[in-house]
Amino acid sequence: MALPKLSNDRPVYEMVIPSTKETVKYRPFLVKEQKSMLVAFESQDPKQILDTMLVSIESCVPGVKISKLATFDVDYIFTQLRSKSVGETSTVLYACSECNEQNEVKINLQEVQMENKELKETIIPINDDISVEMKYPTYNDVIASNIFSGEKASATNMLMDSIKSCMHAIQTKDENILLAHESNEEIDTFVNSLTNKQLEKLTDFVEGLPTLSHEIDFECIKCKHLNKITLRGLQDFF
């Protein structure tokens, strides 16, 4: 005898995607998706974790191409899914700044918001003749970068990878060159030819991207020191 299907019993919620302001419907993670993510987390393979997370999110938000969304949009969507699927609180370990004792800290995911940053102009003039068109990076850009190469990248290299993942096109007076059609070597050559002041303009765009943010305080269980910390980015909340 066939068992009954439970699809009609799934709750449906609404949320607003931060960058597009589009209202979308979503359902909580099902057991199959939670199992897939647990297996991925146990593997400790960052690429497997990210791939599994993106597939699971897309299953829960019909009609939305998650791979096309900015990373900060996906981070926000994940926190909303997590809060409706598992619970509105997440427990993480943080070391006391005074005695270094590990403390369990509970975070109310419903209070987590995007930092209220004014989105930067995407066309950045480099000189009188050349401009760089920037974009919000997607997790596809992250996967395509060197972050999963297995090598421990320096802070400088991570910044350079972030800048390149945000570069969409080079504009001159005569043409618009899409960087998706150019080799990494060509893009590296262009970036390495920038002056420090020109690079700072691109860096300002990257550092000004919205991110999840939440301030919490906790009293250390050992020394009773009152810690105040600001959580930024998805990894800080889980």
In this structure, is the dihedral angle defined by the CA atoms of residues 166, 63, 235 and 220, taken in order, positive or negative? positive
Measure CA of the first residue to CA of the last residue in the chain; give whole Å: 41
Pairwise CA distance, residues 141 & 238, whole Å: 22
112: Cβ contacts below 8 Å, ≥ 6 apart:
79, 212, 213, 214, 231, 237
What domains can you pick out in the chain, each with its CATH number?
11-87 (3.30.2220), 92-112+213-238 (no CATH), 123-207 (no CATH)
H or E stretch covering 219 = strand 212-219
Are the C-beta atoms of 147 and 139 separated by less than 8 Å?
no
The pair of structure tokens assigned to 82 is: 């997590």
Which strand (E) or helix (H) includes residue 235? helix 234-237
List the one residue out of 67, 64, 63 whose CA is nearest residue 53: 67
Copy the structure tokens of residue 9.
Answer: 């019993």
Instruction: Give per-residue burial for 20-59: e unless 16+ CB within 10 Å, then b.
Output: eeeeeebbbbbeebeebbeebeeeeeeeebbebbbebbbb
- Tens digit of pLDDT at every position of the chain (238 positions): 777 776 667 889 999 998 888 999 999 999 999 999 899 889 888 888 889 999 999 999 999 999 889 999 999 999 889 888 888 888 889 999 999 999 999 888 888 877 766 667 899 999 999 999 999 999 888 777 655 555 556 778 888 888 999 999 999 999 999 998 899 899 999 999 999 999 999 999 998 888 888 888 999 999 999 999 888 777 766 5
pTM of the predicted structure, to 2 decimals: 0.79
Distance CA 192, CA 154 (A): 17
Residue 58 near residue 64, CB atoms below 8 Å: yes
